[in-house]
Amino acid sequence: MNLTLATRDYRTTLILTGLSLCLIVATLFSLSVGAVSIPVKDVAVILLQKLGLFRSVTIEGMHEIVLSSIRLPRIVMTILIGASLGVSGSALQALFRNPLVEPSLIGVSGGSASAVVMVIVFGSALPLPVNGWLYHSLLQLVAFGGGMLATFIVLELSSQLGKTNIAILILTGVALNALAGAVIGLAIFYADENQLRTFTFWTLGDLGGATWEKLSFAAPLLVTACAGLLYFAPSLNLFSLGEAEAYHTGVNVESTKRRIIIFAALAVGISVSLSGIIGFVGLVVPHVIRVSFHSDNRLVLPASVLGGALLLVLADVIARTVVSPSELPIGVVTALIGAPFFIGLLMNAKRKHEL
């Protein structure tokens, strides 16, 4: 197999196109299944109508309402969150040169979740709006702030002579996650009956509460964060050699590193504020891409955007249908798929002596 760089570019396009097609098919499928089954054909027609095409055909009114007010915002949110988690995971793995890093490991998710839970439980004492657009925007800002704060604490504690010590980074991440767990637990302890029910939301994730209202603020931020991370894909290739090597090859290491971490914290923080902590997507998706194709981040990052979205859309279909009309927490499904896969990865790495 003697591929030149040109054929590899061609292959990258091919892989990304294939993944996009899979995502489109999965999306249409996900939109059609549920309590009310809508034929895929009708889904496509409604979507085309929304885009201003295909006006003549009439579709059952009920289907259109279910689709446009429940399933469409949910699928948009699922895709955005899956994409954000996937791309942040692959960016952070490349940045820290560690295949076992995932967004929650460096404290982003824990920081976001504990900040949001604190605001929900103790925020009632403050003169804050309790519902509506402003409230959701506030929660998202808090989630982002909490995630950033946790990440910077972890980074600051793990910096040694101006460089990031990966072992300390991961251990402080573990410590901070434990702390975040305690903060969430404490908030739950003081929570009332009603707030208690949201507990599973923050620890296992929930894609149920999607509304266009929430998305109007979050979606542009998530898209910005993903685009920002994609921009750094070529520089991340150099980080795979080491920070000094990246610097020698012309990368402004410190500013690049900081920007990548801010974009990742933004992506994960906002995701957590929308859906709680959803584990394993950010860890597993980049690995699947690397194992199946190759490690060039110019492929891994965009493919993680698509792959993360694809995985979460499929997991959501399973979560919604297996115990219908009830719903499994999405984190249960991703962990059920992710955990055995992760163990498999570890065993594989062990066999190859890569750890």
Partner 1 sequence: MYQASHLSYRVREKILLHDVSLAIVPGQFTAVVGPNGAGKSTLLKTMALEHSGYHGDIVINGKAAKAYSSRELSFVRAVLPQNTTVQFAFTVEQIVALGRHGYRSSRKENEAIVDEVMALTGTDVFRARSYLTLSGGEKQRVQLARVLVQVWEETLYPRYVLLDEPTSSLDIAQQQYIFSLAKKICERNIGVMAIVHDLNQAVLFADHLYFLREGKLVASGAAQEVFTKPIIEETFCCRVNVYRDPCNNCPYVIPEREAFAPPHSLVIEK
Residues that bind partner 1 (CB under 8 A): 1-6, 9, 94, 97-99, 161-162, 234-235, 237-238, 240-242, 244-245, 247-253, 290, 294-296, 352, 354
User: Is the backbone peptide bond immediately before 325 cis, with ω within 30 degrees of 0?
Assistant: yes
Residue with smaller CB distance to partner 1, 197 or 258: 258
Q: Which is nearer to partner 1, 9 or 64 (CB)?
A: 9
* Least gap, CB of 251 to partner 1 (angstroms): 6
User: CA angle, 143 as apex, 137 and 145 as ends, to 5°?
Assistant: 100
- In the bound state with partner 1, the residue whose beta carbon lies nearer, of 211 and 259, is 259
**Non-local CB neighbours of 45 within 8 Å, separated by 6+ positions:** 54, 57, 59
Q: Between 192 and 354, name the residue whose CB sits nearer to partner 1.
A: 354
| Complex with partner 1: residue 41 or 163, whichever CB lies closer | 163
118 Cβ neighbours under 8 A, 6+ residues apart: 183, 187
Query: Residue 260's closest CA among 308, 227, 309, 303?
Result: 227
Helix residue ranges per DSSP H, the chain: 5-32, 40-50, 61-65, 72-95, 108-122, 132-157, 166-189, 193-196, 199-204, 212-231, 233-239, 243-248, 253-275, 281-292, 297-321, 330-351
Residues in CB range of 64: below 8 A, 6 or more apart: 46
Q: Which is nearer to partner 1, 126 or 161 (CB)?
A: 161
H-state helical runs in 38-131: 40-50, 61-65, 72-95, 108-122
Question: What's the N-to-C CA distance of the chain in angstroms?
Answer: 27
Q: Which of 3, 48 has the CB closer to partner 1? A: 3
Residue 24 or 355 with smaller CB distance to partner 1: 355
Q: How far is the CB of 170 from partner 1 (least distance, A)?
A: 14
Q: Which residues pair with 67 in a beta bridge?
A: none
Q: Please compute Rg for the chain using Cα positions.
A: 21
Q: Least distance from C-beta 286 to partner 1, angstroms? A: 9
**Whose Cβ is closer to partner 1: residue 201's or residue 232's?**
232
Instruction: Report yes or no: 134 and 259 within 8 Å, Cβ to Cβ.
Output: no
Distance CA 223, CA 332 (A): 26
Instruction: For residue 95, give the nearest of 22, 163, 150 by alpha carbon.
Output: 163
Closest C-alpha among 290, 133, 276 to residue 212: 133
Q: Classify each residue of 306-323 as buried b or exposed e, where b means 16 or more C-beta atoms within 10 Å of its C-beta.
A: bbbbbbbbbbbbbbbeee
Smallest distance, partner 1 to C-beta of residue 288, A: 13
Min dist CB 350 to partner 1, Å, is: 14
